[in-house]
């Protein structure tokens, strides 16, 4: 194989509940992941020996601290007969934004090299590697819509949701996942609201329903908004402009608003509230389309 071009997808969290801290130091989560049509590019080319990474579009290190190289080295461990690989990563998904870009790149690396090297490792083995690399990487081995439980690494595929439009707001600052969870641990109110249902959406909601039927409450949102008051104004503005639901994605700072399918979001581009904020018009990507756009057959 001369080269392999993949398109790792971003995700949003359609609801995120933090149920407590686990004995292993991680947090017990319930979240609904959803792939969206914002992607990076990851190209794999042959090399005589060794693993080589080039990064474009973002100030990311191309060393062993990068999840792409970590994934590649994990896959190649104990297989000295494998040839080398040159990996070019072109970043389009914003960093530290709650959109899972780094995790998606790592998952694409596992999938891509498994195919590129002809390893044919089973799905369970790839999921084990993904889980050891990061809590949400396993979702990107599934795509579409899925429930994440445990640390977020136990992935239960869900039916594709009904079509809707996503106004994705990207503020000009980052959010540290580790810092947000540290503050959740320290916060005396760091628990789900009284009476809150410990799931990522209303139990009576149709998983294929319109966005208005989805509960998108994010337990981490309050902690991030207290540091960045602009996010509260942006969320209110999304609702005022017609979003049927709006929330923080993951640990932020990206916000999304859900609009009915077919809604024209062009008017949002001129909203004064967006000054200094990047606005992307996105749509959810179902499971079949996810694999087609990614560039590989499903595992």
Residue range 164-282, CATH number = 3.30.70.890
Band the pLDDT of 207: cuts 50, 70, 90.
low
- The answer to whether 284 and 145 have CB atoms below 8 angstroms apart is yes
Give the pLDDT score at 205. 45
Band the pLDDT of 53: cuts 50, 70, 90.
very high
Q: Tens digits of per-residue pLDDT, 176-185?
A: 888 999 998 8
From 40, 105, 136, 153, the catalytic residue: 136
Q: Active-site residue 90, yes or no?
A: no
Q: Is 1 exposed, middle or buried (0-12, 13-18, 19+ CB in 10 A)?
A: exposed
Give the pLDDT score at 198. 41
Least reliable range by pLDDT among 9-13, 128-132, 169-173: 169-173
Q: Which among 47, 41, 174 has a CA at the least distance from the CA of 105? A: 41
What stretch of H or E contains 72? helix 67-76
Q: Is the pLDDT of residue 127 over 80?
A: yes
Give the pLDDT score at 186. 87
Give the pLDDT score at 286. 97
Cis peptide before 253 (omega within 30 of 0): yes
Q: Tens digits of per-residue pLDDT, 236-281?
A: 999 988 999 999 999 999 999 999 988 778 778 776 667 789 999 9
- What is the CB neighbour count within 10 angstroms for residue 251? 24
- The answer to whether 296 and 111 have CB atoms below 8 angstroms apart is yes
Q: Active-site residue 206, yes or no?
A: no
- DSSP 8-state symbol, 211: G
Give the pLDDT score at 199. 42
Residue count (the chain): 299
Q: Tens digits of per-residue pLDDT, 54-113?
A: 999 999 999 999 999 999 999 999 998 999 999 999 999 999 999 999 999 999 999 999
The residue ranking higher by pLDDT, 23 or 6, is 6
CA atoms within 13 A on the CB side of 118: 5
Q: Is the pLDDT of residue 210 over 90?
A: no
Give the pLDDT score at 231. 93
- The answer to whether 43 and 88 have CB atoms below 8 angstroms apart is yes
Give the pLDDT score at 200. 42
CA atoms within 13 A on the CB side of 226: 8
- DSSP 8-state symbol, 284: B
Question: pLDDT > 70: what percent of the chain?
Answer: 89
- The answer to whether 49 and 293 have CB atoms below 8 angstroms apart is no
Q: Which among 179, 147, 190 has a CA at the least distance from the CA of 253? A: 179
- Mean pLDDT score across all residues of the chain: 89
Q: Which CATH number does the domain 4-159+286-294 belong to among 4.10.110.10, 3.60.21.10, 3.40.5.90, 3.30.230.10?
A: 3.30.230.10
Give the pLDDT score at 272. 63
Domain boundaries, the chain: 4-159+286-294, 164-282
């Amino acid at each position: 194989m001369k080269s392999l071009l993949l398109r790792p997808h971003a995700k949003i969290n359609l609801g995120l509940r933090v149920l407590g801290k686990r004995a292993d130091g991680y947090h017990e989560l319930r979240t609904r992941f959803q792939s969206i049509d914002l992607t990076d590019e990851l190209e794999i080319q042959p090399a005589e020996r060794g693993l080589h990474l080039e990064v474009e579009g973002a100030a990311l290190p191309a060393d062993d601290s990068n999840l792409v190289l970590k994934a590649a080295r994990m896959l190649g461990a104990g297989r000295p007969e494998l040839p080398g690989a040159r990996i070019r990563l072109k970043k389009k998904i914003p960093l530290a934004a709650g959109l899972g870009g780094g995790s998606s790149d790592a998952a694409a690396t596992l999938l891509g090299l498994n195919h590129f090297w002809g390893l044919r490792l089973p799905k369970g083995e790839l999921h084990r590697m993904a889980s050891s690399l990061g809590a949400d990487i396993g979702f990107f081995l599934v795509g579409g819509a899925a429930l994440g439980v445990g640390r977020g690494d136990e992935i239960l595929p869900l039916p594709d949701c009904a079509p809707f439009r996503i106004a994705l707001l990207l503020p000009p600052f980052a959010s540290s996942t580790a810092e947000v969870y540290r503050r959740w641990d320290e916060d005396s109110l760091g628990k789900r609201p009284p009476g809150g249902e410990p799931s990522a959406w209303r139990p009576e909601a149709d998983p294929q329903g319109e966005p208005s039927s989805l509960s998108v409450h994010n337990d981490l949102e309050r902690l991030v908004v207290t540091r960045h008051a602009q996010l509260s104004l942006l969320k209110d503005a999304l609702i005022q402009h017609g979003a049927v639901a709006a929330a923080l994605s993951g640990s932020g700072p990206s916000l999304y608003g859900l609009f009915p399918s077919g809604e024209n979001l062009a008017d949002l581009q001129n909203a004064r509230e967006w000054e200094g904020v990047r606005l992307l018009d996105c749509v959810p990507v179902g499971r079949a389309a996810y694999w087609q756009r990614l560039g590989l057959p499903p595992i």
